[in-house]
Amino acid sequence: MAARRPLAPTTALGLALGLALGSALAACRAPSAGSGTQPFLPGLRERAALYNGWLAERFERVLPEVMRREGIDMWVVVCREHAEDPVYPTLVPYPNMFAWRLTMLLFFDRGGAAGVERIAVNPYGSGDFNREIGDHYRPGWVDPAEDPWARLARLVRERDPKRIAIDESKVFAFADGLSATLKERLAAALGPELAGRLVSAERLAVGWLEKRVPAELAFYARLADLNRRVAAEAFSRAVIEPGVTTIDDLAWWTRERFAALGVEAWFQPIFYILRPPEGTAGGPAGGASVAASGEADRRVVRPGDVLRCDIGFAALGLTTDLQEVAYVLREGETDAPAGWREALRLGNRLQDILAAEFREGRTGNETLAAALAAARAEGLEARIYSHPLNRYGHGAGSRVGLPDMQGGVPGMGDYPLHIDTCWAIELGVAAVVPEWGGQKVQLALEQSAVFTAAGVAYPAGRQTAFRLIR
């Protein structure tokens, strides 16, 4: 096997963000030519201002909307340091990092334009904690002689809510962050009458996590564009030397590239090789598909290979997810095999079919059934497994299929679709490639998308042609 060449993230992405989102977004830097190590995000202080501005807008717009939609008067989030509720990090401003031993957040809908009252009850290190969250919460614990649980109960009694939501759910892990012991403490503090008003915050927590404000959606377009540019750079001769570079090299290059840009991979980058079967033109011995495992010599990128990436990152409470494909040209070739180009066309058609079935209020399972029926009517052999993207990559919200659940996803798939949300439109089609001896191949595609009142859109575009490695 040829010696491997070390890969370094030195090639410029040539990003020109051109953010026109106000003074806060103006702090985001656009890497210039040759700035392979320049971060994509601004410095920490500017980042905090940007993120916290979004949080303030979310408290004013998203929280009242979702609480009223779900019929919740009060939401109580209680968690402990090192056992934080999954929703907790999205409710506190940057740079707050943890729950300061015991932290209780109380949200009370005062109705109408009065909005949602926000109170933080924290008896430990309260001075520092209150300074960090002071623009977003009113301190609820001020008397060191008062038990914090008693204080929380008094705050609840004074407001007399009819339905008190807590984070427990049998379906969504994101909404199941209240531990059994803390629930016992909370119920005991409230007493039987108030404890009888406790209800699940399942749909409130999911709704809070999934819905985005306009500034977030605008910034998300830049994140999606960055992800596609990293994929384009990975699938280039600036990074790949056929016969030398391995898919392990590509995965490590991507990790390093994300780190240099100042974003964080939320899952490990994966690269795949697909090859024609033995006996076809250029077909090596050893099978047609090489995933992230296999013998080392089969993991080297070669002319005639189809490559697929699966990469995504997290930044400022948002995540991306991307699968795109490339073809390594043989000598004399100018494009990928026609059969593979047709597979990509079919994949794009399936994306269109699925996007047309996204409707506010329709469940994920209903969306899946309608899209698969439309695909079958056109003769497509399709699989759909799309998911939300928010703070978490396989995020809070509905599921439109899973790879092994094409008949619907119980529970998560029964949740309705909501607008102003981010999605991974993830799916696959089967196609026959005549140039590969008539082999049926599976083409998987995934693009970061937004679902708004105008429908599903790809803010950074989508792949419609193979990336070519010459």
**Closest to 433 measured CA to CA, from 364, 346, 316:** 346
Question: Quick check: do 47-208 and 213-469 share a fold?
Answer: no
Rounded Cα gap, residues 410 and 367, in angstroms: 14
pLDDT in tens, 398-426: 999 999 999 999 999 999 999 999 999 99
Fold topology of 47-208:
Creatine Amidinohydrolase; Chain A, domain 1 (3.40.350)
CATH superfamily ID and name for 213-469: Creatinase/methionine aminopeptidase superfamily (3.90.230.10)
Contacts of residue 309, defined as CB under 8 A and 6 or more positions apart, other chains included, come to 231, 234, 235, 250, 254, 269, 270, 271, 272, 322, 323, 324, 326
pLDDT in tens, 320-357: 999 999 999 999 999 999 999 999 999 999 999 999 99
pLDDT in tens, 421-461: 999 999 999 999 999 999 999 999 999 999 999 999 999 99
The dihedral built from the CA positions of residue 312, 178, 99 and 74, taken in this order, carries a sign that is positive
pLDDT at residue 135, rounded to an integer: 86
pLDDT band (50, 70, 90) for residue 284: very low
Dihedral of CA atoms 349, 353, 354, 359 in degrees, nearest 10, equals 150
Would you call 232 exposed, middle or buried from its count of C-beta atoms within 10 A (0-12, 13-18, 19+)?
A: middle
For residue 157 the two structure tokens come to: 């009694």
Model's pTM, two decimal places? 0.89
Q: How crowded is residue 156: how many other Cβ atoms within 10 Å of its Cβ?
A: 21
pLDDT at residue 34, rounded to an integer: 32
DSSP secondary structure string for all residues of 306-337:
EEEEEE-EEETTEE--EEEEEEEPPTT--S--
Rg for the chain, CA atoms, rounded: 25
pLDDT at residue 126, rounded to an integer: 62
In the chain, where are the structural domains located? 47-208, 213-469
pLDDT band (50, 70, 90) for residue 143: confident
Q: Is the pLDDT of residue 382 over 60?
A: yes
Q: How crowded is residue 240: how many other Cβ atoms within 10 Å of its Cβ?
A: 23
pLDDT at residue 131, rounded to an integer: 77
Rounded Cα gap, residues 345 and 465, in angstroms: 8
